[in-house]
Chains A and B, each alone.
Chain A
């Protein structure tokens, strides 16, 4: 890290390393350190304008830019896939502004920026998972006042979160929230895990990797340090359950993974394939095949 104010311009691009200036990176790192110190607490930070629209990962990109070093290997996924627009453009962005190596292999990456999935391959110590967060406040749609939600967090008054789950059961007979499913971090703060499917919630618990969450428009950073207890909220008589799929991946035959539905034609043809493209490709390279392969 270079001292504040100095600029280490990447050769050829004219940009500072990883786009942001060093002062901004220090500011973001301070917010990240505070977030790690208070797991699940939303730390305000002075989010910058980024060369991409809000909603495309401006928060995640700033967190990644602040933690990236020249030796890091970056992986970017968008809904589990390495090859969709958002993932490709953010990967290119950091290739251009930081010159870091990129990969699509989960195991090889040191920093993984994700939009709404956690990779199927288990994460390891030393890896950092950076989430793009649109709305960091789990209580937002129940309590519109920011002053009040802050009070509720400060006093750990989370009865309201259960009112939402109650409404789900009353309307649908079961907890119908399938993404952005609220979790309690380290027995204290209730946190929105960003719009990941609740299928991924158990992977957050006791995870060896550091998990960082960046919300650019809302200007908040929060974190789950490695090996932290993360519990999905539920009722005693309606315990938390993840989605189940009644068939394996059509391409690689994987079971117990999160599947995407792919429409094949206009006659109702469809198949279900791994949402995590790297996981699917790795399995197929190892000789696993599904019914459609």
Chain B
């Protein structure tokens, strides 16, 4: 019997259930009946090479792309489990900007580039009806501090921030409404290694502190090892292996996973 890697989860229920999720682009199969469950506070890494369907999977879960088949159910804050396809557009958007976060690979897609850092963080608050400038600004400053952005950058637009700061700003912007589930699409790609390390450290700290459930898509196995509890290995739109992170990375069973693990360069 292997010792459980995680402390007993605080809330034993499943937060997210994905069943038979399928998406075709013409004849090409982007995702082929993918299923998994995610518990409260659990971090799941989706790994695989470029074009394996990782990002499509994330878009399907977020409801940004309509699935050809399958379902995504989510336990809402009121405790009821809802099939996300049955939500109205208004409900879906409300869920996305309160209980969910989405950190994009390309910060220009996840941020408003013409709006100051403070405005970017405050947008969700204003979206849920906060109409007190002083309070919004104080919350924005607090969140900038938590993601290690200096307070004097609060009025700078993201165009004047570095790549690493943009990603941290995206994270602050998403976490400001205390979501329970955050989707991350390659949050560290395109950053140099020292900036990556700091960002990962910060994400790990926030995830533990806030008890976030995270689905992180990455091609970098080191990111998966550092952040995630469980790993899903994808290739050509299919899940070819899944399990606890160290189990999959240290003792890969599928041939492709073995190849993937052995492809990592050691510094």
Contact = CB atoms under 8 A, between A and B. Distances in A.
Interface of A: 142, 151, 155, 157, 159-160, 162-163, 166-167, 169-171, 234-238
Given A155-B93, A157-B93, A171-B155, A166 B132 contact: no
B133 A235 contact: yes
B210 interface: no
Top-10 shortest CB links A-B: A159-B127, A159-B126, A162-B126, A235-B133, A236-B132, A155-B90, A237-B134, A166-B119, A170-B155, A238-B133
9 contacts: A142-B112, A160-B127, A163-B112, A166-B118, A166-B137, A170-B137, A171-B155, A235-B132, A235-B133
Interface in B60-105: 89-90, 93
A164 to B, nearest CB: 8
Given A157-B127, A159-B127, A167 B93 contact: no
Contacts, number: 55
Contacts of B182: none
Interface of B: 89-90, 93, 112, 115-116, 118-119, 122-124, 126-129, 131-134, 136-137, 154-155
B89 A166 contact: no
A163 B115 contact: yes
A33 B133 CA distance: 38
Contacts of A238: 133
Nearest to A233: B131
How would you classify the secondary structure of chain A's contact residues: helix, strand, loop or mixed?
A: helix
A166 B133 contact: yes
Contacts of A235: 131-133
Given A155-B93, A167-B115, A170-B118, A160 B131 contact: no
A201 to B, nearest CB: 17
Nearest to A175: B133
A163 B126 contact: yes
B116 A170 contact: yes
Given A159-B123, A162-B126, 10 more contacts: A142-B115, A155-B89, A159-B127, A163-B115, A166-B126, A166-B137, A167-B115, A170-B116, A236-B132, A238-B133
Contacts of B154: 170
B126 A236 contact: no
Contacts of B124: 159
Nearest to B88: A155
A237 B93 contact: no
B123 to A, nearest CB: 5
Contacts of A236: 131-133
A206 B133 CA distance: 28
B119 to A, nearest CB: 5
A52 to B, nearest CB: 33
Nearest to B117: A170
Contacts of B115: 142, 163, 167
